[in-house]
């Protein structure tokens, strides 16, 4: 009798990620109002809602505390559960924030997204998925906060990923100023690196200051019958990540 032994290599996937942040020109001193957390299997970007400045409240306190609480519960597998717990622990702070949070479990990416932070998945130099904004009305995103929306309203998604898939995760400062094809072209040219994260952020920033640019934000405004032209000046946070075998690091 002949026995044939098959040896199957078992591996798990993880993120190799790079981050770049450019604050709004008026918010450089405090580092902007965006926040993020990233490890080998979780990525999160939060955008403190700037309207709180009009009420004497610093929006960065909510978004940054939110990400600190996400870090504490990043071991949980369900991103919506992490979002729920983190927001409940943050709601003693006056303010609010949009948030996208994603957890990689084996080869499945689980996503919870509330508001207008976003993400892009690229495979083989093509867009596999582009998230959409979650808005009450134009420029009024769903948002976590003591006076905001429940995490239960967050959209949930699952994606089956492969090695070398690319993720772009960003605040609306990215997606208000660059469309998915501009993002794709830059990534296809520069790959996944600190340089590509910097270039995405810097290119978004340059367009955000251009008063004649027909930005994605301007196009959405026009669809809502609001007269607006130019880029959208804002904090810009960009995470660029590649899916790798954990043996690669």
| pLDDT tens per residue across span 198-229 | 999 999 999 999 999 999 999 999 999 999 99
Q: Can you give the pLDDT at residue 156?
A: 98
Other CB atoms within a 10 A radius of the CB of residue 48 amount to 30
Residue among 197, 192, 15 at smallest CA distance from 102: 15
Predicted confidence band of residue 146 (pLDDT cuts 50, 70, 90)? confident
The C-alpha atoms of residue 95 and residue 67 are separated, in whole angstroms, by 14
Per-residue pLDDT, averaged over 117-140, amounts to 97
The C-alpha atoms of residue 47 and residue 66 are separated, in whole angstroms, by 10
The dihedral formed by the CA atoms of 110, 114, 116 and 121, expressed in degrees to the nearest 10: 10
Do residues 90 and 66 make contact, with C-beta atoms less than 8 angstroms apart? yes
The structure's pTM equals: 0.93
How is residue 237 written in tokens? 């946070």
The answer to whether residue 248 scores a pLDDT higher than 80 is no
Share of the chain above pLDDT 70, in %: 95
Predicted confidence band of residue 5 (pLDDT cuts 50, 70, 90)? very low
CA angle 82, 44, 135 (to 5 degrees): 90
Per-residue pLDDT, averaged over 121-137, amounts to 97
Q: Can you give the pLDDT at residue 6?
A: 45
Residue with the larger pLDDT of the pair 54 and 240: 240
How is residue 38 written in tokens? 């990233």
Q: Can you give the pLDDT at residue 11?
A: 56
Share of the chain above pLDDT 90, in %: 90
DSSP bridge partners of 129: 121
How is residue 218 written in tokens? 């301007």
The C-alpha atoms of residue 130 and residue 139 are separated, in whole angstroms, by 19
């Amino acid at each position: 009798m002949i026995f044939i032994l098959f040896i199957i290599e078992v591996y798990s996937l993880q993120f190799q990620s790079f981050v770049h942040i450019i604050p709004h020109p008026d918010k450089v001193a405090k580092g902007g109002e965006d926040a993020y957390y990233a490890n080998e299997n979780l990525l999160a970007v939060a955008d403190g809602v700037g309207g709180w400045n009009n009420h004497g409240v610093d929006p960065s306190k909510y978004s940054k505390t939110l990400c600190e609480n996400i870090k504490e519960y990043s071991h949980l597998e369900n991103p919506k559960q992490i979002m729920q717990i983190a927001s409940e622990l943050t709601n003693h702070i006056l303010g609010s924030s949009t948030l996208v949070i994603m957890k990689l479990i084996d080869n499945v990416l689980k996503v919870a997204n509330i508001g207008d932070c976003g993400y892009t998945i690229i495979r083989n130099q093509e867009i596999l998925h582009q998230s959409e904004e979650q808005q009450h009305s134009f420029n009024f995103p769903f948002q976590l906060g003591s006076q905001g929306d429940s995490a239960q309203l967050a959209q949930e998604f699952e994606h089956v990923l492969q090695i070398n898939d690319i993720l772009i995760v960003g605040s609306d400062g990215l997606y208000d100023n660059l469309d998915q094809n501009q993002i794709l072209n830059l990534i296809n040219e520069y790959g996944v690196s600190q340089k590509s994260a910097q270039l995405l952020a810097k290119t978004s920033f340059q367009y955000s200051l251009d008063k004649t640019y027909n930005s994605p934000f301007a196009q959405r405004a026009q669809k809502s019958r609001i007269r607006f032209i130019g880029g959208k000046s804002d904090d810009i946070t960009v995470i660029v990540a590649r899916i790798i075998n954990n043996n690669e690091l």
